[in-house]
Copies of this chain bind each other. A is one copy, B any other.
């Protein structure tokens, strides 16, 4: 249920990873306005991380206006949030591409080879998005 939250050992602080992945989940429509967010404890347990670390992430999300925290009831995806999504996703796509090219180059692999494989994998798991 929460596998889109897998943590990486990148030197990036945990709360930042959680914050950003949640933001992307919202931007991608995986979590929609009004939806209840995963409970702080759910996330903490799933990621084997401290409750306060998750709270740190959630607080930043609230500060940004992405979610609303209601004590004793839960946290919910905030209402309007569409304007940022499309542009942010374009940036994200470009970022992912740059990163992939970088990784491929460093590994001595032709980026176009990787691109081809990406397409193949994507098609094989459901053509439409």
Contacts and interface: CB of A to CB of B under 8 A. Distances in A.
* Copies assembled: 2
A47 interface: no
A32 to B, nearest CB: 10
B84 A110 contact: no
Given A81-B107, A101-B118, A108-B81, A16 B10 contact: yes
Interface residues of A, number: 61
Interface of A is mostly: helix
A95 to B, nearest CB: 8
A72 interface: no
Contacts of A26: 102, 105-106
Given A97-B114, A121-B97, A106 B13 contact: no
